[in-house]
A and B are shown apart, each in its own frame.
Chain A
Amino acid sequence: QLQLQESGPGLVKPSETLSLTCTVSGDSISSSRYYWGWIRQSPGRGLQWIGTVFYTGRTYYSPSLKSRLTISIDTSKNQFSLKLSSVTAADTAIYYCARLDGGPTVQTRFDYWGQGTLVTVSS
């Protein structure tokens, strides 16, 4: 059974970098079929796609976050990670990692999700 688990600090100070890791179990992150992504949910903005990564390291970012975003993948650890720089209170949200089946963008779906982790941006 595929499982995804987010981990990382629950509190980040404004202007600092938010860092999260998603550990995948039950499937190889090196599969050429699947992509791996991040989505967040905040009270003010609802659900928002952050970005997606392939096992080769190819990334796809939301235009609204692209300038502050780095998503990477570590196939040896079966993990992928998110770094969001210069955070503000607007980045406070529940962050989910997910698997994508069907490609990186248009025709795909987020078919498995983690339970999410709350990240609060506050001094």
Chain B
Amino acid sequence: QSVLTQPPSVSGTPGQRVAISCSGSSSNIGSNIVNWYHHLPGAAPKLLIYTNNQRPSGVPDRISGSKSGTSASLAISGLQSGDEGQYYCASWDDRLSDWVFGGGTKLTVL
């Protein structure tokens, strides 16, 4: 049971926009930043969004992040087949003194 709650799966067709939600509490998302990661099996996880809405160099601007209260969201527009994979949110939890992660959302491009 993950501390942060994500939908198990989302899907969309090429070109569409999808959003992945991440729900937490006042001790994690409500107090601290949120980061998002993309992961394909057998590969190194990749940082997509940091500090709620910042994109690392090389991440296209069709990928965006937002945070409001105790929830965060990752949006991907202009969906491409290369966007498939698992997406994870993460935040520091002040009560646990630990990093907490979402359970992951599998994105399928139909």
A residues whose Cβ falls under 8 Å from a Cβ of B: 4, 39, 46-49, 62-64, 96, 102, 105-107, 109-116
CB-based contact A105/B92 at 8 Å? yes
Contact of A62 among B44, B47, B98, B104 (CB under 8 A): B98
Contact partners of B47 in chain A: CB under 8 A: 109-112
Min CB gap A72→B, angstroms: 20
Residue of B nearest to A107 (CB): B33
CB-based contact A96/B44 at 8 Å? yes
Min CB gap A123→B, angstroms: 27
* Residues of B within 8 A of A (CB-CB), count: 26
Min CB gap B26→A, angstroms: 15
Contact partners of B32 in chain A: CB under 8 A: 106-107
CB-based contact B2/A49 at 8 Å? no
CB-based contact A109/B44 at 8 Å? no
Instruction: Determine if B56 is an interface residue (Cβ-Cβ < 8 Å).
Output: yes
- B21-46 Cβ-contact flags toward A at 8 Å (1 or 0): 00000000000110101000011111
CB-based contact A47/B90 at 8 Å? yes
- B84-110 Cβ-contact flags toward A at 8 Å (1 or 0): 000010101010111101111000000
How many Å lie between the Cα of A96 and that of B94 in the bound state? 23
